[in-house]
Structure 1
Amino acid sequence: MKHSKKMGINTICTHVGEIKDEQFKGAVSPIYLSSSYAFDSVDIKRYPRYFNTPNQEALCRKIAALEKTEDALIFGSGMAAVSTTLLAFLHKGDHIILQKSLYGGTYNFIMEECDKFGIEYSFTKGLDVNDFESLIQENTKVLYIETPSNPLLTITDMQAISDLARSKGLTSIIDNTFASPINQNPVDFGIDIMIHSATKYMGGHSDILAGAVAGSKQDVLRIWNIAKNLGGSLSDFTVWMLERSLKTLNLRVKEQCKNALIMAKYLEANVDIEHVYYPGLEDHSDHELAKKQMRGFGGVVSFELKDGIDAMEFQNNLELIKPSMSLAGIESTMLSPTKTSHALLSPEERENQGIKDSLIRFSVGIEEPEDLMYDIEQAIKKTVKALV
């Protein structure tokens, strides 16, 4: 099915990119698990590593429609999407500018791999467009942002960054994982390339590992040209699972956003919580910017416990919310970024990003908020009682 601008978001999620079952007339896309296809007398020479199996192509059409772009590619993980995209646009002697608050895996890739390829890099001191502009050099090729950021949920002005990039002939790239295409479409603000850890909201059920990239046909072709050599493709069974999951993306994310705002307000009023990070709160420093460029504020809330309340002990005392890696599943989870997503950073690097041992990243699911509140309260009571 071809994408139409007149389609509603749930219709896009459900129908764009589906494969018709011509043989048995099934209601869902058939799955093609073959790793070997004919090469003679065919229009397309299909090969899984070339990202062009029937299920791969169908899923890419759905993701492109969700991000309002011409094309898309899917990968075996979010980091495969990140690394392949960066290596497609950066070569020896080139320079990239990245915002200071980034997913730990991305930061670690830059720090450990770029020097090997002769790629120069700079991290901004702040998130204002001037922080990016002041770092531009003659060999700068890419501006890289992440908004909302992981885990402090800072907001970067997408329009300002894209305007700067275009005025200097640079490529703008965004990690759009935390927002998902439901809460924002960066292409509306002029961003060139959107990257997702599809493991998160796109998958949404904590059972898929995948990545995605969306952009113009020209940019996606450039990424494909190196992707086919690096081999970060996705198995067709997982592709089929992800296409299935995307059908409920809008329904899931809207419920998670609604619950996250309720939980953020609850945590803000809790005497045992030191600070809450959520762009949907009116006192968040980036609230007005978030309102301008987002349709919803996301399903992740980060917060710091008061001094004396051990973050790991608190999480171990939870009964409903799962202390668990990753995020964005329909079940609520919590984790300590210092021990998980940002564990590869040094203590000094984490401190520079404002990530403390007391910080907890709360991925809000679709449970009733009252049940989540009860679980948090009982876990705090147990943790405090153990200290007495």
Structure 2
Amino acid sequence: MSQHDDIEYQLDTLAIRTGHTRSFEGEHSEPIFLTSSFVYENAAEAAAKFSGAEPGNIYSRFTNPTVAMFETRLAALEGSERAVATSSGMAAIMAVAMSFLKAGDHVICSRAVFGSTVSLFEKYVAKFNVAVTFVDLTDLTAWQDAIRPETRLLFVESPSNPLAEVADIQALSDLAHANDALLAIDNSFCTPILQRPLQFGADLVIYSATKYLDGQGRALGGAVVGNHKLLEEIFGYVRTTGPSMSPFNAWVFLKGLETLRLRMKAHSESAQKIAEWLVAHPKVEKVYFAGLTDHVGHELAAKQQTGFGGIVSFEVKGEREGAWKVMLSQQLPIQQQRLMVSFLLKQKQQRKMSMILSVTFLMD
């Protein structure tokens, strides 16, 4: 794709062809560079590359051709200048925190985020004397009230896991920038196929590539996407501290990106049908899916997204045993700690329990 870079390609083409760097063998599929380091013709070449005077690979913790192909392709799908790959989604979030926060800074984070994200800010980032305030995702007044002079980062997962709450990205972006802060969006549930947060003013987009970017549960990985200036800070952190993506995993994710648009379309269509079916089910108390017109975030999701995604959550009426029965009666979902199927207990009055069941529907 290097001969006609001025052409605006469709997403499917970008997902298959962008960033492909062939070796001297002229292979059709992307090569996997499973190597820790690289060799040079002479000492002068080595010195030039080590000093940065000449571009090139030195050590795979720094850069690797297969990882670079994945980064270039993901950035193209996002419509961004650059991406930096990491060893996991949590490594990507930590890279953002360590690159842009210092002692005395303050973070505002949505309550509706992945549990490990809460632990990261409360337990580990806090060790560096960085304060965090958690607020309701959809309460803009709460976000405004939480702003301090030292606030430097607003962090959001949208849509959220597992209740599909939707953030007003443009409003949060305006708030962040008015207070000299950055807005970071975890876009793992939508992927760049269904939502491009940078178009609504977000500064950084974070992915757990483990989820939809791969789509088959084969490998761990993450990424941060944004402009060159911000991503250079991320790159410096990853290069120095080492949460780099494996070249093999990068190749797996490259294969996942090839079918990403088709999969996200199928996910969204199937989830919509299931959500509508669940709404009419007599044993279902509530359904959480932004594709439903009565979902509190429906209009905002329709504005920001090109589809509603594949996560459907619902509450089953009755005690915990009833929820267990629903789980055990399923023939297709797999009960495991992965986005394909996840379960969350919700405390009810008088110690009654109901089950919120989140399912990613892969196919019709």
TM over 0.5, shorter chain? yes
- Specify the SS of the correspondent of 2:312: strand
What corresponds to 1:12 in structure 2?
A: 14
Deviations 1:194-250 (A, max 9, x none): 000000010111111110110011111111111222211111111111111111110
C-alpha deviation, 1:47, in angstroms? 1.1
Counterpart of 2:142 in structure 1 is 131
In structure 2, distance between residues paired with 1:160 and 1:180: 20
Q: Which residue matches 1:361? A: 358
Shift of 1:31: 1.4
Query: C-alpha offsets along residues 3-26 of structure 1, whole Å, 9 cap, x if unaligned?
Result: 656110100111111122441x33
- 1:96-111 → structure 2 map (5 Å cutoff): 96-111=107-122
Matching of residues 246-261 of structure 1 within 5 Å: 246-261=257-272
2-structure distance, mates of 1:76, 1:148: 23
SS at match of 1:289: helix
CA distance change for structure 1 residues 321 and 280 in 2, over 3 Å: closer, same or farther? same
Shift in CA distance, 4/196, structure 1 to aligned 2, threshold 3 Å: farther
Helix, strand or coil: the match of 2:36? coil
Match of 1:320 in 2: 332
Matched, 1:57 2:68: yes
Deviation at 1:130, TM superposition (A): 2.1
Does the 8 Å CA contact 1:100/1:127 hold for their aligned counterparts?
Answer: no
Q: Is 1:128–1:157's contact at 8 Å kept on the other side of the alignment?
A: no
Aligned to 1:48: 60
Q: What is the SS of the residue equivalent to 1:322?
A: coil
Cα deviation digits, residues 142-194 of structure 1 (max 9, x gap): 11111100111000000101111112211110000011111100011010000
Quote how far apart the aligned CAs of 1:36 are: 1.6
CA distance in 1, matches of 2:357, 2:124: 29
Q: What are the residue-to-residue correspondences of 1:178-193 with 2, within 5 Å?
A: 178-193=189-204
Distance 1:120 1:4, change over 3 A: farther
Q: CA deviation at 1:117?
A: 1.0
3-state SS in 1 of match to 2:252: helix
Asked if 1:165 is matched to 2:176, the reply is yes
Q: Which structure 2 residues correspond to residues 203-222 of structure 1 after superposition, within 5 A?
A: 203-222=214-233
Partner SS, residue 74 of structure 1: strand
Instruction: Report 1:1-388 matches (<5 A).
Output: 1-2=1-2, 6-23=8-25, 25-38=26-39, 40=43, 41=45, 42=49, 43=54, 44-50=56-62, 52-308=63-319, 309-327=321-339, 333-338=340-345, 357-366=354-363, 368=364
Q: CA RMSD in A?
A: 1.7
Matched residues in 1 for 2:307 and 2:10: separation? 17
SS in 1 for 2:146: coil
Q: Distance in 2 between matches of 1:139 and 1:364?
A: 42
Change over 3 Å in CA distance of 1:85–1:4 after alignment to 2: farther
Please identify runs of 4+ aligned residues in structure 1 that moved more than 3 A. 1-5
Structure 1 window deviating more from structure 2 (98-107 vs 33-42): it is 33-42
Do the aligned partners of 1:312 and 1:336 also contact (CA within 8 Å) in 2? no
Question: 1:75 touches 1:234 (CA, 8 Å); kept in 2?
Answer: yes
Report the residue type matching 1:20 in the other structure. R
TM-score, length basis structure 2:
0.91
- Percent of aligned pairs with the same residue? 33
State the Cα distance separating 1:288 from its structure 2 match.
0.6
Paired with 2:256 and 2:92, the residues of 1 have a C-alpha distance of 19
Deviation per residue, 1:111-151 (Å, 9 max, x gap): 21122111011011452322211111111101111110011
Alignment: residue pair count: 346
CA–CA distance in structure 1, aligned partners of residues 166 and 304 of structure 2: 9
Q: Is the 8 A contact 1:144 1:174 kept in 2?
A: yes
Residue segments in structure 1 that go unaligned for 5+ positions in a row: 328-332, 339-346, 369-388
SS at match of 2:69: helix
Q: 1: distance between equivalents of 2:188 and 2:245?
A: 18
